[in-house]
Amino acid sequence: MILQRSILIQNLMKQTIFTIATLLMLVVPAALGQAPMNTQPAPEIKTETTDPADVVDIEPSVNIVDAEEPLFEPETRYVADEFFVPLRETPCPRCKIVHWGIKSGTQVTLLNLRDGWGLVETSKGYKGWMEEQFIALTPSGKELLEASNTELIRVKTNAEQLNKTISELEQDIDALKQTVTELQEDKQVLNRQLLDVVGLNSDPVALNEQNQTLVKQNHILQSDNDVLIAEVEILENDRRNQSYLYGGLTVFLGALLVVLIPRLKGRKRLSEWG
């Protein structure tokens, strides 16, 4: 059974190879512009015939190439939008190439248009014709994306700086609010004092009575002052009189001693003679 299957597979391979060789012999000369070579009829390949009962159905074989390829997990990819456009000397698709490729997104100066072609010049001095379909009024999507990313980074930086400034301003506002609160408290105190002063000034009778009271107190203090001055003078006179008295007593005692001392001496002499 296995031998019959292998023989059948060999016969099928031989027929396939012969068919491919015949097609190549017919197609290749025609493609090269030559007359096809004379081919001899291929010899018939004899195949052994087998009884229908002994023929076994061959299951489709596994693709050997697919089985040998390594496994690859599907991934998401994108078609690149970057390409290069050649510059030509004249506006035609087969004319001489001046530059082999201007990268997409490059800024150029359009000088002329003719039959679907545009004469452009780059910043590096390259000048030539390219198809008008590759010349756009706006930069490429990649350039716009890069510019947008740069602008986004700049805006984020400015936003961070603004947030920082806002935080500092909020702190300053809190400090100013505290200062305003303190000033309001001081204002309330001054208002109360002003109300007291205004209340006094608004009542002339109370002011008059207060003035009279102050005048009376002034008179009393003046009288007390006069009394104190008189007492001080009296004390000074008493001291002066005491000085005079002490002086008189001293003189009297001195005179008395002058009178008594000689008499005491005379008596002492008489006592000695007696």
Task: Using alpha carbons, list the distances in angstroms from residue 145 to 64, 82, 140, 141, 174.
Answer: 46, 13, 9, 6, 43
**CA atoms within 13 Å, Cβ hemisphere of 125:** 0
Cβ count within 10 A of residue 102: 21
pLDDT at 183: 92
pLDDT at 44: 42
Report residue 100 as tokens. Answer: 């082999």
- Above 50 in pLDDT, residue 157? yes
Cα–Cα–Cα angle for 172, 177, 183, nearest 5°?
A: 125
- Above 80 in pLDDT, residue 267? no
pLDDT band (50, 70, 90) for residue 32: very low
pLDDT at 209: 81
pLDDT at 55: 36
pLDDT at 266: 64
pLDDT at 100: 86
- Above 50 in pLDDT, residue 220? yes
Q: Which of 81, 51, 61, 62 is nearest to 142 (CA)?
A: 81
Domains of the chain: residue spans and CATH: 2-68 (no CATH), 84-137 (2.30.30)
Q: Which of 52, 50, 44 is nearest to 14 (CA)?
A: 44
pLDDT at 173: 94
**3-state secondary structure string, 149-187?**
HHHHHHHHHHHHHHHHHHHHHHHHHHHHHHHHHHHHHHH
- Above 80 in pLDDT, residue 23? no
Average pLDDT, the chain: 75
Per-residue pLDDT reduced to its tens digit, 114-124: 989 999 999 88
The partner residues of 21 in beta bridges, in order of sequence, read none
Report residue 35 as tokens. Answer: 């007359």
Q: Which of 98, 102, 164, 99 is nearest to 134 (CA)?
A: 102
pLDDT at 176: 92
Per-residue pLDDT reduced to its tens digit, 35-91: 334 434 434 434 343 333 333 344 444 444 444 666 878 878 766 667 788 999 999
Coil/strand/helix, residue 264: helix
Q: How far apart are the first and last CA of the chain?
A: 208
Q: What residue type is assigned to position 143 of the chain?
A: E
Q: Tell me the percentage of the chain whose pLDDT exceeds 70.
A: 69
pLDDT at 58: 40
pLDDT at 35: 39
> What is this structure's pTM?
0.32
Asked if 84 and 103 count as a contact pair (C-beta separation under 8 A), the reply is yes
The partner residues of 109 in beta bridges, in order of sequence, read 121
Task: Using alpha carbons, list the distances in angstroms from residue 115 to 21, 93, 125, 131.
Answer: 48, 12, 24, 9
- Above 50 in pLDDT, residue 203? yes
Per-residue pLDDT reduced to its tens digit, 231-265: 888 888 888 787 878 777 888 788 777 777 777 76
Edge-first strand listing for the sheet containing 84-88: 97-103, 84-88, 127-131, 117-122, 108-114
Q: Which of 25, 22, 17 is nearest to 9 (CA)?
A: 17
- Above 90 in pLDDT, residue 111? yes
Coil/strand/helix, residue 10: helix
- Above 60 in pLDDT, residue 170? yes
pLDDT at 255: 78
Lowest mean pLDDT among 14-23, 91-100, 161-170, 244-253: 14-23
Long-range contacts of 19-25 (CB under 8 A, 24+ apart): none
Q: Which residues contact 75 (CB under 8 A, 6 or more apart)?
A: none
